[in-house]
Amino acid sequence: MEPAELVVFKLVLHFLKTVLLKCFQKLSIAFLSLMEGLSMRGTEQDDVATFDQLSAHWWEPNGQMKLLHKLNKLRVPMVVEGLIKAGKLDRKQRHTTDPLKGLTILDVGCGGGIYTEALAKLGAYIVGIDPAKHLIEVAKAHVATQPDLKERCHYEEVSMEEHAPQHVGKYDVVVLSETIEHVVDKSLLLKNVATVLKPGGSVFITTWNKTTWAWTLAVVVLEIIMKRLPRGSHDYEKFISIDDVEAMLEGYNCRTIERRPFYLKFWVDEWIWVPFEKMTYAVHAIKE
């Protein structure tokens, strides 16, 4: 056994480390807000305006939305694999060109349609919603150039609060990718997700964890230093932990069956699955 003095020393050291990290985070936010003009407590309307301004560059593979394009490598296969695990798809469908055929999907916060179109290409009938007018215009314009998709991929300029009451129990799948961190009332958002899901339907969420490490990567490294993400597009106060997401989903009768952390190798712009939850994560839950 370790001497009592050593145990106490380690506990005190851990406490001091925790305090210093929290102080560093708060001081860094204050300093960067002052020096860089960041809006660390932006409203949802601010977020909509920010992404509206980026609409013209949404479909540039190497533009400011490059990381969203790259994220499809993880989030699209996760939907297929998750539905196989949930018993909604046969394992053999993994290797077909249209594994999502016959499924109805809602993409909440679809932006210009990068994720939406990728799921439509796998055979799904999908609706993308977003309150950002210019982004929906971009999404509609782009899908209009895809004759094999335009009959199965539709977009609406609408919020989830407006959409949900009109589509109770309609969807087999709801996806929220890089969306929940831009919403203030996350509980209401997830309540509406549960409302539109069919019993046995799946929800897939990807977002930033609420940690100092996540804030450092998203805001300091990717927004300010490397400029890989739009300036001001992330607000630490809106980040949410994986445990809180799971608890909220449980409150609306959606049971989490998988939680998968992932990470950005920002030096090569590649998203990878990892065994730690410090940065970003994906959650798959089923409505019971």
Q: What is the CATH number of the domain that holds 279?
A: 3.40.50.150
pTM: 0.82
Q: Alpha-carbon distance 278 to 272, whole Å?
A: 13
CA distance 245 to 261: 13
How many structural domains comprise the chain? 1
CB 161 within 8 A of CB 183: no
pLDDT value, residue 31: 40
User: In this structure, is residue 23 part of a structural domain?
Assistant: no
Residue pLDDT, tens place only, 129-153:
999 999 999 999 999 999 999 899 9
267: its two tokens: 């030096």
Helix (H, G, I), strand (E, B) or coil at 27: helix
Asked whether residue 17 is domain-assigned, the answer is no
Has residue 118 got a pLDDT over 90? Answer: yes
Task: Confirm whether 220 is domain-assigned.
Answer: yes
Question: Which residues line the annotated binding site?
Answer: 75, 109, 130, 177-178, 181-182
Q: Is residue 135 part of a domain?
A: yes
Q: What value does the mean pLDDT of the chain take?
A: 86
204-239: pLDDT as tens digits: 999 999 999 999 999 999 999 988 888 888 899 999
Write out the two tokens for 161. 């609060």
Its domain, for residue 47, covers 31-287
- Alpha carbon dihedral 209, 214, 215, 216, in 10-degree steps, equals 170
- The phi and psi torsions of 238 (rounded to 5 degrees) equal -95, -5
Beta bridge partners of 127: 106, 154
Question: Which residues are part of a known binding site for Mg(2+)?
Answer: 178, 181-182
DSSP-assigned beta bridge partners for residue 270: 265
Measure the CA angle with vertex 203, ends 197 and 207; round to 5°: 140
Residue with tokens 């939305």: 65
Tell me if 24 is assigned to some domain: no
Nearest 5°: phi and psi at 155? -130, 145
What is the model's pLDDT at position 114?
96
Which band of pLDDT confidence, cut at 50, 70 and 90, is reported for residue 36? very low
Name residues whose C-beta falls within 8 Å of residue 245's C-beta, 6 or more positions apart in sequence.
180, 186, 190, 205, 207, 283
Task: Tell me if 234 is assigned to some domain.
Answer: yes
219 within some domain = yes
In a domain, 2, yes or no: no
Of 114, 110, 126, 129, residue with least CA distance to 69:
114
Known binding residues for S-adenosyl-L-methionine are 75, 109, 130, 177
